[in-house]
Structure 1
Amino acid sequence: MLELISVSHVFTGPGGKALTALDHVSFSVPAGHLLAVIGAAGSGKSTLLSLLAGHQEVGGGTIMYRGKDTSEAPLHANEIGYVPASDDVLSPVLTVRESVMSALMLRVADQTAEQRVDRASHLLVGVGLENVATHRVSSLTLPQKRRLKLAVALVSDPSLVICDEFTDGLDAKSQSEMTALLKFTATDHPSRVVIHATQMAANLAAYDTVVILHEGHVCFHGPSRAVTHYFSIQAIEELYPRLAKRPASRWGESWMRHRDSYYDAFKLGGAIKAKDDEEEGNPTGHITLPANAKAKAPEDDGKPAPESAEELPPPPALPSVAAQAKHLILRRWSTFRRTQKEWLIQVGLTALAPAVAALLILPNDHYLSAVTSGDTSPAVLWPAAYTCAMGWFLMVVLTMAFSVRTAAREIASEWPVYHRERTGGLRPLAYLLGKLGFVLPVVLLQILLSALTVEVVTGGLPGFALARLLLLMVTGIAFTSLCLATSALSPSAERSHSRCWMLAFTNLILAGAVLGFPRVLGGVLHPFITAYYGWSGGMETLKDTPLYEPLTLFVRTWFPSPALAISVLWVHFALGVFVTLRGLKKRL
């Protein structure tokens, strides 16, 4: 069902040096099979799984699945169930049942609510989590999280299940239970292959066959009972020290010489002898498999013959982009409501920020009232103009703060979850729309409440208030998009948060309110500064008031019209969306 033919993969290491992760790896796996890929760190296990899951293109050789070259006919996302090594791939605030239901919503189209509930219940019973279905993921033990990761991977009933270090880090009892669960998963589907990559050499008897990797080379492939005989060791715990005694290339060459003989023995049950004159501690120079090392022929293994590729039903279709995005928006609002610290901070920021802004404007509010009453004397006009400039600048500062607080960590904080869901068929565009459907309403609500509070407390700044409100909102939309882009390009939430604050600080310094650049220099810098268009466009709304002329005298910045400023801000928003989407597509 699955066959690797001389698969090689090379990546670029430090200093541009080419490093070989896999070197002519070849083996095949029949349907209904549980395969263990054993190897120490750096042996190529993760690279092999990445190639099988379609995360990377094969550098050399061929991967055949159901008789088709995967480079020409890639596997459908719902044909693969990928269980990553990280235990952070689940949303901690969702319940166990909600996690499975969410995976169903994102991966399987055209199901009724009743069908999803039945499927989720079946999976939870299968992995042994029905008793904790209503518990939050954050409360689960490590073995329970592993079971849930497997359940989530199986929602589309995939025929190829890939598990990375599924039993690693568990106690002996849990390792045995997890291995038995993988065996059940392999036999529960007539045409399923389960591949488990692990550093642990325990419970190998539960696997149908074992592939041993050492520095990218296949050193053995066959039944686990033959491992100790092939490597001339007394116990499986001696495997890694034994491998370290010879270069990986020598082990690979030795296996290639003896592979056909061993394969014949495994299939036909004949005792064999394999020449290995370089083995220490083996005076005869031969390895002999005892009679109990025989393997049944495929037609005698007692399992039903797998269906042909033509007879197998097609994998379920993926939901549309709109359906995935809708679910992600609803899920994110649900997790927001449940995360008390997050919404308390947002509520506090929404309440306190406009109050602080209003208090800073109030001491000079009488100058604005005097200008509104018709007093245009220099002693009133100049302080009023300065108050308008700095007051509006403060509103732009608050808008930047809202955007950073809401969007800076939004993507980078859940890279493991995104990787898992992307492997399962989540489209980057749907994920982006899901994020926009959460961050933009939050930011826009904060901007609206802040602007209204300042207008009510101060009695309103002169000029066209509606145009200024629209400018603030579009500024928030544009900068929120740029913060999402920064998050999509950052490896961690902390790095993204610091980068977004740096971006906001740069915007505010170069906006033109604090530093008045000459028009030539400003013409070069300002097209890249989001805050400039929000602030200067707001100043242009004062053009028909007595305050405009003083503003043009003490601020050397060119003021675009509100319409032009809004147009440029939408360009910034589009740029942020484009960069975010590019970052999401590369993150796999």
Structure 2
Amino acid sequence: MLELISVSHIFTRPAKEALTALDHVSFSVPAGHLLAVIGATGSGKSTLLHLLAGLQHPGGGTVLFRGKDLGQAALHPNEIGYVPASDEVLSDVLTVRESVMSALLLRVAGQTKEQRVDRASHLLVGVGLENVASQRVGSLNPTQKRRLKLALALVSDPALVICDEFTDGLDAKSQSEMAALLKFVTTDHPARVVIHATQMAANLAAYDTVVILHEGHVCFHGPSRAVTHYFSIQAIEELYPRLAKRPAARWGESWMRHRDSYYAAFKLGSSGESLKAPDEEDDGVDSQGVTLPANDQSPAPETQTEPPAPLAPALPSLQAQAQHLIQRRWTLFRRTQREWTSQLILLVLSPIVAALLILPNDHYLSELTSGNTAPAVLWPAAYTCTMGWLLQILLVLIFGVRTGAREIAGERALYRRELVGGLRPMAYLLGKLGFILPIVILQTFLLGLTVEILTGGLPGYAFPRMLLLTLTGIAFSSLCLAISAHCRTAERAHSQAWTLAFVNLFLCGALLGFPRVLGSVIHPLVTAYYGWSGGIETMQATPVFEPLTLFVRTWFATPTLALLALFIHFVVGVLLTLRGLHKTQ
């Protein structure tokens, strides 16, 4: 059912030597089969799983699944169930049942709510989580979280299930239970292949066959009972020390020389005792040591009819996926007290602080409105307008960093898991925008409205300034989201977003202006410039505008031009975010 033919993969690293992760890996797995891929860290297990899951493309060789070349046409996402090693792929504040229901909504189309509830209940019973279905994921123990990850991978009833370190790090009893659970999952679907990559060499008897990887080379493939004989060891615990005694390439060459003889012996039901243990001077097992039939021609194995695989269910539409992601993200927001508390504090205190900083000089604005244009009033009023508007732009930049910087990078593992299951990057992006934009719009609108009410408003047209303030927040948030999509960790994304905010603050032209020619080159790249200069331009018909042009030697964009530029910045941020999501894909 699954066949790998001379699959290789090399990682190229800048200024470093290329790293060979897989070197001509070949083996096949029939339907209804549970396979263990055993190897130490760096053996190529994770790379092999990523190739099978479609997260990476092989550098060479062929991968066939039910006769289809996966290099030519990828599997339907619902034919694959991927169980990653990290628990970061789970949302801690969702309940167990909600997690399974969420996976169903993202992967399986055409089901009624009752059908999804029944399917979720069936899966939870199958993996042994029906008693904790109403508990939040964050309260589960490590074994229960692995059961849940397996349930999420099985929602579409996939024909290929891939598990990464599913039993590693557990106690002996739990390891045995998890291995038995994988065996149950294999037999539950007659056309299913289950592959488990692990460092643990325990409970190998639970698997139908074992592939042993060592530094990218296949060193053995066969039943677990033959492992100790092939490597001339007394117990399976001696496997890794034995592998370390010879280069991986020699183990791989030895297996390739004797593979066909061993495959023939395994098909004929040869017992482990009939295999000759390797000699210390030999690289592997002598093919003459394999017990074969006395006649020259080996009897052909019985022809097995591969069970038909059911058609993979269709994926939900882009709109359905996006709608569910928006609802799920708002649910996570409501249940994460630290997140909504910090946003609430920012929402309430920021406009109040801005107004309080403007109020000490507010009497200059009042006298200017009354017609007093004396220099002692006009120049302080101009300074107040410049700094008051810059303060609001600064707060908007903070809103963007706080809302967008960690949004994607903080759940990178979750996104990769759902990507394997058929999540569309565009749906994921729409889900993020459906969460971020309402928050940013509310924050910026309340900021501008509060300042206008408490201070009596800056001179000029208030409505265009409100639009500029809101669109500045939207544009900068989309750029922070783009940074998040391209960073591997939330901390790195947060740091880079703050750097971008400070660069915007210094280059917006509010403190000192660039020479006109240089400014025309730099300003199109600075989001805050259009928010600040467009807002200043709304004061053109007031007495304060002329002192402003003398106070700061910056060319001011018209409100219309500023709004257009900010919209372009928003679109650029969205496109860069989508590119980062596709890069992960």
Shift of 1:38: 0.5
Secondary structure of the residue that 2:166 maps to in structure 1? coil
Once the two structures are overlaid, the 10-residue window that deviates more, 475-484 or 259-268, is 259-268
Query: What pairs up with 1:349-388 in 2 under 5 angstroms?
Result: 349-388=346-385
Cα distance 1:356–1:528, how it changes in 2: closer, same or farther (>3 A)? same
* Structure 1: stretches of 5+ with no match in the other structure: none
Once the two structures are superposed, the pairs formed by residues 204-353 of structure 1 within 5 Å of their partners are 204-270=204-270, 278-279=280-281, 305-308=305-308, 312-353=309-350
SS in 1 for 2:88: coil
1:454: which partner in 2? Answer: 451
**Alignment check: 8 A CA contact 1:368 1:384 kept:** yes
- Distance, in Å, in 2 between the alignment partners of 1:557 and 1:329 is 41
Find the partner of 2:418 among 415, 418, 421.
421
Following the alignment from structure 2 to structure 1, what is the Cα–Cα distance between the partners of residues 277 and 405? 61
How far, CA to CA, are the matches of 2:115 and 2:424 in structure 1? 23
**Secondary structure of the residue that 1:15 maps to in structure 2?**
coil
TM-score by length of 2: 0.95
**Displacement of 1:16:** 3.7
Letter in 2 for 1:475: T
Does the Cα contact within 8 Å between 2:46 and 2:197 map onto a contact in 1? yes
Distance in 1, matches of 2:163 and 2:470, equals 46
Gaps of 5+ in 2: 294-298
- The superposition leaves residues 125-184 of structure 1 with CA deviations (integer Å, 9 ceiling, x where unpaired) of 000000000111110000000000000000010000000100001000000000000000
Take 1:50 and 1:570, find their aligned partners in 2: how far apart are those partners?
38
1:88 match: secondary structure: helix
Q: What SS does the corresponding residue of 1:543 show, helix, strand or coil? A: coil
Task: Give per-residue Cα distances to partners, 1:559-584, cap 9 Å, x unaligned.
Answer: 11100000000111111111111111
**Given that residues 254 and 284 in structure 2 are in contact (C-alpha distance below 8 angstroms), is that contact kept between their aligned partners in structure 1?**
no
- 1:453, 1:492 → 2: CA distance? 36
Amino acid at match of 2:362: D
Are 1:385 and 1:547, in contact at CA under 8 Å, matched by a contact in 2?
yes
Distance apart, 1:44 and its partner CA: 0.9
2:165 corresponds to which letter in structure 1? E
Cα distance in structure 2, aligned partners of 1:413 and 1:156: 26
Q: Match for 2:363: what amino acid?
A: H
Output the TM-score relative to the length of structure 1: 0.95
Residue of 428, 433, 436 corresponding to 1:436: 433
How far apart, CA to CA, are the structure 1 residues paired with 2:497 and 2:489?
A: 12
Question: How far apart are 1:466 and its partner, in Å?
Answer: 0.3
Q: Distance in 2 between matches of 1:496 and 1:282?
A: 50
Distance (Å, rounded) in 2 between the aligned partners of 1:23 and 1:412 = 32
Distance 2:553 2:116 in 1: 62
Distance 1:28 1:285 in 2: 20
Given the superposition, is the C-alpha separation of residues 504 and 270 from structure 1 closer, same or farther in structure 2, using an over 3 Å criterion?
closer
Contact 1:299 1:305 in 2 (8 A): no
Deviations 1:419-450 (A, max 9, x none): 10111111111111111110111011011111
Partner SS, residue 3 of structure 1: strand
The verdict on how the C-alpha distance between 1:509 and 1:13 changes in structure 2, with shifts beyond 3 A counting, is closer
1:313 Cα deviation after fit: 2.8
Distance 2:511 2:204 in 1: 69
CA distance in 1, matches of 2:53, 2:279: 39
**What is the match of residue 406 of structure 1?**
403
Residues 332, 438 of structure 1: 8 Å contact kept: yes
Q: Distance in 2 between matches of 1:10 and 1:516?
A: 51
2:15 partner SS: helix
The verdict on how the C-alpha distance between 1:283 and 1:393 changes in structure 2, with shifts beyond 3 A counting, is closer
Q: Decide whether the 8 Å contact of 2:278 with 2:286 is kept in 1.
A: no
Tell me which amino acid in the other structure corresponds to 1:436: L
How far apart are residue 453 of structure 1 and its match? 0.9
Question: Residue deviations 1:49-71, cap 9 Å, x none?
Answer: 11111111111111111011111
Change (3 A) 1:570 1:513: same
1:98 alignment partner in structure 2: 98
The CA deviation string for residues 302-353 of structure 1, in whole angstroms up to 9 with x for no partner, is xx95324xxx332111111111111110000000000111111111111111
In 1: Cα distance, 2:283 partner to 2:48 partner: 33
Pair 1:528-2:528 in alignment? no
Residue aligning to 1:130:
130
- Kept in 2, the 8 Å contact 1:6–1:25? The answer is yes
Q: How far apart, CA to CA, are the structure 2 residues paired with 1:412 and 1:156?
A: 27
Q: In the superposition, relative to structure 1, how do residues 298 and 166 fare at CA in structure 2: closer, same or farther (>3 Å)? A: farther
Residues 229 and 277 of structure 2 are in contact (CA less than 8 Å); yes or no, is this contact kept in structure 1?
Answer: no
CA distance in 1, matches of 2:501, 2:286: 74
Segment of structure 1 superposing worse, 370-379 or 567-576: 370-379
- Provide the aligned length of Structure 1 versus Structure 2: 578
Provide Cα deviations, 1:451-483, integer angstroms capped at 9, x if missing partner: 111111111111110000000011011000000
Matched with 1:76 is 76
* Equivalent pair of 2:486/2:577 in contact (CA under 8 Å): yes
| 1:509 alignment partner in structure 2 | 506
Indicate conservation of the 8 Å contact 2:97/2:134, yes or no: yes
Which amino acid in the other structure matches residue 545 of structure 2? Answer: Y
User: Are the equivalent residues in 2 in contact too, given 1:79–1:156 (CA < 8 A)?
Assistant: yes
SS at 1:403 equivalent: helix
Match of residue 22 from structure 2:
22
Partner of 1:61: 61
**Is 1:393 the equivalent of 2:419?**
no
Give the corresponding residue for 2:481.
484
Question: Does the aligned pair in 1 maintain the 2:401–2:480 contact within 8 Å?
Answer: yes
Q: Secondary structure at the match of 1:82?
A: strand
The change in CA–CA distance for 1:476 and 1:566 in structure 2 (over 3 A counts) is same
CA positional deviation for 1:280: 7.0
Q: 1:561 corresponds to which letter in structure 2? A: T
Whether the 8 Å contact between 1:268 and 1:297 is mirrored in structure 2 is: no
Instruction: Kindly provide the amino acid, as one letter, of the partner of residue 499 in structure 1.
Output: Q
Counterpart Cα distance in 2 of 1:507 and 1:114:
51
Structure 1 pair 3–158 and aligned structure 2 pair: CA distance change class (3 A):
same
Asked whether the equivalents of residues 275 and 286 of structure 1 are also in contact (C-alpha less than 8 Å), the reply is no
Q: Which amino acid aligns with 1:373?
A: S
Stretches of 4+ aligned residues off by more than 2 angstroms: 13-16, 269-291, 296-300, 304-308
Match of 1:445 among 438, 442, 447: 442
State the Cα deviation string for residues 36-94 of structure 1 (Å, max 9, x = none): 00011111111111111111111111111101111112111110000011111101111
Alpha-carbon distance in structure 1 between the residues aligned to 2:583 and 2:356? 46
In 2: Cα distance, 1:50 partner to 1:175 partner: 23
Q: Secondary structure at the match of 1:81?
A: strand
Q: Which whole-Å CA distance do the structure 2 matches of 1:532 and 1:244 have between them?
A: 61
Do the aligned residues in 1 keep the contact of 2:538 with 2:559 (CA within 8 Å)? yes
Counterpart of 2:110, as a letter, is D
Structure 1 residue 18: Cα displacement? 2.1
Give the aligned residue type for 1:334: T
Look up the match of 2:148. Answer: 148
Q: CA separation in 2, counterparts of 1:86 and 1:299?
A: 41
Aligned to 2:296: none
Inter-CA distance 177–299: structure 2 relative to 1 (3 Å threshold): farther
2:232·2:277 contact (CA, 8 Å) conserved in 1?
A: no
Which secondary structure state, in structure 2, belongs to the residue aligned with residue 26 of structure 1?
strand
* Aligned partners of 1:85 and 1:165 also within 8 Å: yes
CA contact (8 A) 1:258 1:274 kept: no
CA distance in 1 between partners of 2:144 and 2:568 (Å): 47
Structure 2 SS opposite 1:9: strand
Alpha-carbon spacing, 1:454–1:557, altered in 2? closer, same or farther (3 Å): same
Native 8 Å contact 1:21 1:216 kept in 2: yes
